[in-house]
Amino acid sequence: MVAQARLLSALAATTTKITPRCDYFANAERCINPQVTASATIPFTPLLHTPPKFVYAVDELDEDDIAAARKRNSYAIPSTYLGTVLKAAFWLEYDQNSLNDARDQERVYYTFVLETSSTNPIGGDQGGCTSLLGEKCLRNLKQLIAKKTYNAPEDYGYEGGLGTQILNLWRDSPAEELGCPADIFGTRWDAPNTDMPILLQPFMPFARFADDFAVALPSGNSSHVHGIPEFRFRSLEEQSARGVVGITVGWPAFAMGQKRDYPLSEVTVETVCLRLGSSDNSDADGLTN
C-alpha cells in the first residue's frame, strides 16, 4: 500500500506540471483558477520531514464561470444573486522525498482552514498567528481543536467523527469564551459564530498509517486542491482583508471499536496564518506571496 501511495504521488508529480484551466462544470470540486494566492510553510511532523507549503487561493469568477458553476449545481449560486462570486481553495505542496510513509508510525493526519474577520497583521510565532488572533485566543483555539479531536467517537469517518466535532466547533465553546473577539470567525454566509465556521471543506483526511493501511494525498496544486473549494459572495477586496488560519492535526490511529490508549498530549495541532496578496508574515515560519 505504501508503494501504491508512492506511485500515486510520483504520477501526480509528473502529470500535473502543466496546469490547465479549471473547468467549473466538469471538475468543480478538484481545482481552481487562482487569481490571488498566499502561501507559507507549516510544521507537519512526523508525516513530513520538511515543512510543506500551505497555499490559500481565491478566484473571482467571470460570467462563464458562474454559468458553469450554476449548471453543475443550481443551488451553489442563487439565481437571484447578481453580485461578485469568489471561489476559495487550499492545498499543501511538498517534496515526495520528505514524506515519512512508514506504516509503523500509526498516525492519522487532517487539514482544514478557518476564516477570520481579523484585519490584524500576520506575524509572530505559531505560523504568524499570534499577531492575527492574539496569544490567548490562539492558545485556547488549539486546545479546543485538540480536545475535539481527542473526544471524536472514531478517528476515521465523517459521521459522528472529527468532521462533526469541527463543524460544531463553536456550539459548546463560543469564540468569546476562548478569549477571542465574538465576531472574529466568519461563516459560509457571513453570519458570525454559527455552526459553520469553516472556510473550506473541513474534515480533510490527508494521511493515515497503520499496520494494514497506508495512504497519503499527493502534493497539491491548483489542478488538484486538497478539500472541496467553497464559494464566497463578497468582493475580492473584502476577501483579501480577511486573515485565514490553516490548521493541521495529527494523532495516533486506532481501529473503530478499539479503546483509545494515548494521552491528549499526543494530539498535535499546528497553525499558519495567511492573507491574500500580503507579505506581512515575513517574520513567521514562511512567507506569503
pLDDT tens readout for residues 251-279: 887 655 566 778 889 899 999 999 998 64
Task: Report if residue 132 sits inside a domain.
Answer: yes
Q: Which of 186-195, 197-206, 274-283 ranks highest by mean pLDDT?
A: 274-283
Q: Is residue 218 part of a domain?
A: yes
Percent of the chain with pLDDT over 90: 33
Name residue 54's beta-bridge partners: 40, 92
Give domain status of residue 159, yes or no: yes
Would residue 241 count as lying in a domain?
yes
Higher pLDDT, 57 or 156: 57
pTM exceeding the 0.85 threshold for the entire prediction: no
In a domain, 83, yes or no: yes
Do the Cβ atoms of 173 and 139 come closer than 8 Å? no
Could you count the other beta carbons within 10 Å of the beta carbon of residue 135? 14
**Four-residue CA torsion sign, 80, 82, 84, 90:** positive
Range of the domain at 173: 2-274
Q: For residue 256, is it within any domain?
A: yes
